[in-house]
Amino acid sequence: DAGITQSPRHKVTETGTPVTLRCHQTENHRYMYWYRQDPGHGLRLIHYSYGVKDTDKGEVSDGYSVSRSKTEDFLLTLESATSSQTSVYFCATRDPANYGYTFGSGTRLTVV
């Protein structure tokens, strides 16, 4: 396993507040991804990173920003949380040696 840790595991926040989710990996993988999972939509890519300070948008990036200041950490920030951002968020990394992807355990975020 890629040793991916997501924090927090659960969070309830109020509409309009900023929220940051953290993904930490111990395998020195270059590629990291943030997905959200919602019923009826499957997993959708929010943002991804292909190296330190190198990030790009996925298909559902509005309202989210990311930062990657170190190889091991990839942060996802909801700038002003809305109820539509209530979801389960998964971080993933990719091992370039075998193209395998590994997912973290997820963060369940509820915006009230």
Footprint of another protein (CB under 8 A): 31, 33, 35, 40-45, 48, 50, 56, 58-59, 90, 92, 94, 99-106
**What residues have CB less than 8 Å from 97, skipping those under 6 apart?**
none
- Beta-carbon count within 10 A of 4 CB: 22
| Shortest reach from residue 90's CB to another protein, in Å | 6
Judged by beta carbon, residue 70 or residue 101, the one nearer another protein is 101
3-state helix, strand, coil split of the chain in percent (to 5) is 5, 60, 35
In the bound complex, what is the minimum distance in angstroms from residue 43's beta carbon to another protein?
A: 4
Q: Which is nearer to another protein, 80 or 87 (CB)?
A: 87
Nearer to another protein, 14 or 23 (CB): 23
Closest approach of another protein to the CB of residue 41, in Å: 6
Collapsed DSSP state (helix, strand, coil) of residue 105 = coil
- Please name every residue paired with 11 in a beta bridge, in sequence order, or none if there are none: 109
